[in-house]
Amino acid sequence: MLNRTLPVLTLALLPALAYSGEVKLLTWEAYLSDKVVHAFRLETGHRVEQFFISSDSERNAMFDAGGATLFDLVMADNGATQAYAKQGLIQKMTGMVPSLAHIDADWQQACGEFGAAYSWGTLGIAYRQSFGIQIDSWQQLFVPPAPFQGKVVTMTDSKEFTAAALMAHSFSPNSSDPRELQRAFELMRAQRQHVLAYDYGVSYALSWQKESEMAMALAYSADVEEIISATGQKDWTYVVPNEGTLLWVDCWVIPSGRAVNKATLDFLEFINRPEIAALNAEQAWFPTPIGAARKLTSDAHKGDTELYPGTDVMKRSVLLHDRPEEAERRISEVIDNLKNQ
């Protein structure tokens, strides 16, 4: 995690309260600032224990098996949040978490009544510039230029992976049209020979560090800083391809069947305070959905167009939506076959 600091939050050095509890989080790696976790412990006495996922499919399997009830809070994108809510797998947050009022309405609306917006961003391609080839199309992720062949890392989350292949054909990233999906599947199969690993790029980088052979990855807009930090390779950059991108919102959700303890509610109230959200966004280097928090971050953070893209990129961005069950089933079959080859 990057060592960025903010002058704000010396206030966090407060004596711990007499009581203490524990918050168990299921989330992405390097997605919560260590300083925020420490400040929360100092202020409240509560401990935070984190467990990491490397794909949406892994999280979905936990919900299907009932394992999500082992956690107090789970990180899910807005599409999954909508699906879990319909299936009765998560609890309504509205009325339970007053600090949701701090979150900008557009981002909170994406999570709805069952989630608390935590971050947002775009889907794109991360790649090493030192290879001397400009990457600006989704086609290049699936049929990579020669220097990148065999060095591509692709996360196999059904929504993002399929969206990228659909956008390579200039289709909607949320399409469930059978003919368009078939074209996407053909690209996904063609890419197989060039794939180094089916993994989340940040997780791969953290695992292999300086021995990483990854040179291109399907990535989220805040990933490059973590990849650089883990690998020491300074030439990584991130691009939103010309065909457009998928806009996602990550939400904290509470699994149904899990008793909501005071530590969990205190955690949500804590991380949504503008000064805490600012520290968290700056330290973990991701965009905050809390406008008042963004005003407190550094000029470098506020001005990072990878985190906060300009109007031209936003015009080419489509918000993530859930697909019909039959389409998701077919996508999962194709991806499972690719991974098992």
pLDDT > 50? residue 15 = no
Secondary structure class of 244 (helix, strand, coil) = coil
pLDDT > 90? residue 17 = no
Quick one: average pLDDT of 211-217?
98
- Report pLDDT digits (tens) over 117-165: 999 999 999 999 999 999 999 999 999 999 999 999 999 888 899 999 9
The reply to whether 10-120+248-308 and 122-246+314-340 are identical in fold is yes
pLDDT score for 7: 38
pLDDT score for 19: 52
- CATH (residue range 122-246+314-340): 3.40.190.10
Quick one: average pLDDT of 215-243?
95
pLDDT > 90? residue 175 = yes
Confidence of residue 314 (pLDDT cuts 50, 70, 90): very high
pTM over 0.85: no
**H or E element that contains 49:** strand 47-53
DSSP per residue, 288-316: -S-HHHHTTS-HHHHT-TTTS--HHHHHT
In percent, the amount of the chain with pLDDT more than 70 equals: 94
pLDDT score for 320: 82
Task: Give the CA-trace dihedral at 293, 295, 301, 306, to 10 degrees.
Answer: 80
CATH class of 10-120+248-308: alpha beta
Quick one: average pLDDT of 254-267?
96
Average pLDDT of the chain?
A: 92
| Rounded distance between C-alpha atoms, residue 251 and residue 255, angstroms | 12
Quick one: average pLDDT of 52-76?
92
Would you say 116 and 268 are in contact if contact means Cβ atoms under 8 Å apart?
Answer: yes
pLDDT > 90? residue 42 = yes
Confidence of residue 13 (pLDDT cuts 50, 70, 90): very low
Would you say 43 and 16 are in contact if contact means Cβ atoms under 8 Å apart?
Answer: yes
Quick one: average pLDDT of 309-337?
90
pLDDT > 80? residue 6 = no
Q: Smallest Cα–Cα separation from 200: which of 327, 54, 19, 81?
A: 54
Would you say 290 and 105 are in contact if contact means Cβ atoms under 8 Å apart?
Answer: no
Boundaries of every domain in the chain: 10-120+248-308, 122-246+314-340
Output 10 or 269, whichever has higher pLDDT: 269
pLDDT score for 125: 98
- Report pLDDT digits (tens) over 268-303: 999 999 999 999 999 999 999 999 999 999 999 999
- Report pLDDT digits (tens) over 157-174: 888 999 999 999 999 999
